[in-house]
Structure 1
Amino acid sequence: MSVPQTSHPFGASTTAAEVIDGVDLHGRRAVVTGASSGIGVETARALASAGADVTLAVRDTDAGARVAARLKAELPSTSGQLTVGQLDLADRSTVAAFVTAWRGPLDILVNNAGVMAPPELIRTPDGRETQFAVNHLGHFALTVGLHSALTAAEGARIVSVSSIGHLFSPVVFDDLDYRFRPYDPWTSYGQSKSANILFAVAAAERWADDGITANALMPGNVGGTSLARHMDPQQVTDFLASGDIALPPQKSVAQGAATSVLLAASPTVEGITGRYFEDCAQSEPVAERAGAVTGVAPYALDRDNAARLWALSETLVR
């Protein structure tokens, strides 16, 4: 079954600046996690350029402050305010502190931060596998904690940055933390990215009556980011040589942020919720991973999987 598409001129080569052109976000407030590098910076830039007051939610506040200062110097005087908040998604205490400190409505939450494919198994202080803990559980706790602020905005949007990597693995509910199977960096990354999509599906259903929409996306094969900072060069070489999954053409950082900005702010997707996007369009389901360069796995959109993950996540972050 084909997916109905929204009507706009945007596509794979569109930049975040092109998506935001003509959009007015004055009076709106946004949070972008992981906004000290890569597409997080470009997402924050685009939203602020349209007038939104943007909080850069980052682990390294010094790096965040440097980015905020640079953006303020580059953006016009009509842009929104840029502030920095400390947020380490692997540390529940900083997530709780960020939520506690937040005041007032929140119109846009872009769950952008992430970690990809550490070669060795790493656990957080509370015993969780790091990719699942950071990419999903940290964002889950943050978003649920900010639910009342999102509701107060009367039309808030949640954006979850996933990946084509979700095709590597569904969420393995019976062994999230690799205690009964050998650790593999790519299936671990895959299940965390599947979780990002399932979270959007569940939030869309649970919070529809609160006026909140939630969608997930694949930014693209983006060069020049720090996402692969935990990977050694040989691991990258071996991955590309394996042919295990085909990569789409590489994008610039500005192009990589475009779909995040579309879902966060464009009127062309008003009211759309619980979907997965790539190249500024809704993705078609795929039947298998072999040869796939686009598309979404049915298990990542499954409502039963989404409800199960939500219930389990509530238990794990409690």
Structure 2
Amino acid sequence: MFDATATSEQVIGTFASQIKGRTFVITGAGKPSIGSQIATSLAKKSPAHILIVSRTVKKVELALEDVGAIDPSVKTTFVQVDLSDHDSVRRAAKEILAAAPKIDVLINSAGNMALKEYSVDKQGIEMQLSGNHVGHFLLTNLLVPALLAAGSETGLARVVNLTSSGYQISPFRFNDYNYSGGKEYDPWTGYGQAKTANILFAFGLAKRLKSCGVTATAIHPGYNNDTQLGSHLTMEDYYGIFPAMKKNTGKDFEFEEPRSKTYTQIAATTLIAALDPEIPEKSPAYLANS
């Protein structure tokens, strides 16, 4: 139905009935980001409620202004969270459940990439693993009651984890996820481990909850230079991917085409995972290029 060049507009046009009247929770949707593109795309087809769960108020306000300009009748809620702080995640989960006792789709899109310096969160967990996976793992589990409430009615509640083709760089380091206190840390290995964790989490979640009407999918959105994810990196920094993967796996990294997607194309695969009626039966799954 879609190919690698699919746009958000094409996806929401095809699956408009899967948006109308439903509740969507999106993490990390400050503008500009994939999450903000997802939110504004959904707003065009009459969702009941869009909740944005993010850290930076000013960036989220811009996204919510865009949603309001598209359709002022769409209910919007902002819940502030620091995914690397588990107390913050627990507080945010309570606010989300109070605002949305039923969640049709949870899209975990917040994240970081290739942090150059080794650092840990308040709990002592390496920061890329913390921000990309562990915070989402905790938040998603705390929101399961609302997902089950929606799933019991429609059988179609979904969790979508944004991962990356960067998962190729490193398997999950079960015996040393904290890099021996930083001694073994490499920015791209850290990213690869975290993105692998996103996929493993989607797999495990679907296995546990599919019978209850909740499915999970991991998606690689593609490459785009307009979001802020890699704003701290130079082109030379990206060359570090190749030796890191070779060291970790013995294999060579392969980019898929297209090498760069437009802003509207970068959200398409996520929207397919969130809306396509055929996806739940196929989950757990990994999607790329639509």
Q: Cα distance, 1:233 vs. partner?
A: 5.5
The answer to whether the Cα contact below 8 Å between 1:116 and 1:230 also exists between their aligned partners in 2 is no
Instruction: Return 5+ residue gaps in structure 1 as ranges.
Output: 1-8, 281-318
Q: Which residue of 2 aligns with 1:203?
A: 205
Residue 231 of structure 1 corresponds to 233
Distance 1:241 1:118 in 2: 16
Counterpart check, 1:39 vs 2:34 = yes
Q: Quote how far apart the aligned CAs of 1:86 are.
A: 0.5
Deviation at 1:223, TM superposition (A): 2.1
The answer to whether the 8 A contact 2:114-2:191 is kept is yes
Shift, 1:232, TM fit? 4.8
Aligned partner of 1:164 in structure 2 is 165
| Residue 251 (structure 1) aligns with | 261
Partner of 1:115: 112
- In the superposition, relative to structure 1, how do residues 232 and 124 fare at CA in structure 2: closer, same or farther (>3 Å)? farther
**Residue in 1 that maps onto 2:249:** none
Aligned position for 2:285: 275
Q: Distance in 2 between matches of 1:54 and 1:76?
A: 12
C-alpha RMSD of the superposition = 1.9
Deviation per residue, 1:182-217 (Å, 9 max, x gap): 210111100100000000000010011210010001
Identity of matched residues, %? 35
Tell me the CA shift for residue 80 of structure 1: 2.7
CA distances 1:47-94 after superposition (whole Å, capped 9, x unpaired): 222222111111012221122012321x145x6322211121111122
Closer, same or farther in 2 for the Cα pair 1:148/1:205, shift >3 Å?
same
Q: Which residue of 1 aligns with 2:43?
A: 48
Q: Pick from 26, 50, 57: which aligns with 2:53? A: 57
Distance in 2 between the 1:149 and 1:241 partners? 41
Name the CA shift for 1:129/1:241 in 2 (closer, same or farther; >3 Å).
Answer: closer
User: Quick one: distance in 2 between partners of 1:110 and 1:47?
Assistant: 12
Aligned 8 A contact 1:263 1:269 in 2: yes
State the SS of the aligned residue for 1:150.
helix
Which residue number corresponds to residue 146 of structure 2?
Answer: 149
Distance across 1 between alignment mates of 2:170 and 2:71: 43
Q: Which runs of 4+ in 1 moved over 6 A?
A: 240-243
The reply to whether residue 71 of structure 1 matches residue 71 of structure 2 is no
Contact 2:158–2:216 (CA<8 Å) still a contact in 1? yes
1:19 is displaced (CA, Å) by 0.5
Comparing 142-151 with 48-57, greater Cα deviation is found at: 48-57
Match of 1:15 in 2: 7
Give me the whole-angstrom Cα distance separating, in 2, the residues matched to 1:80 and 1:273.
Answer: 29
Secondary structure of 2:113's aligned partner: coil
Cα deviation per residue 1:258-282 (whole Å; 9 max; x = unaligned)?
Answer: 01000111224243211100011xx
Cα distance in 2, alignment partners of residues 44 and 113 from structure 1: 13
Does the residue aligned with 2:65 lie in a helix, a strand or coil?
helix
- Shift, 1:27, TM fit: 2.2
Change (3 A) 1:246 1:217: same
Q: Is the 8 A contact 2:169 2:241 kept in 1?
A: no
Is the contact made by 1:213 and 1:272 (CA closer than 8 Å) also made in structure 2? no
Letter in 2 for 1:111: N
Aligned pair 1:88/2:98, yes or no? no
Match of 2:180, SS?
coil
Letter matched to residue 91 of structure 1: D
Distance 1:213 1:48 in 2: 23
- Aligned residues, how many? 269
Q: Distance between the aligned counterparts of 1:232 and 1:97, measured in 2?
A: 36
Instruction: Output the TM-score relative to the length of structure 1.
Output: 0.80
State TM-score, norm by structure 2.
0.87
Change (3 A) 1:38 1:143: same
Given that 1:221 and 1:247 are in contact with CA atoms closer than 8 Å, whether structure 2 keeps it comes out as no
Residue 167 (structure 1) shift: 0.2
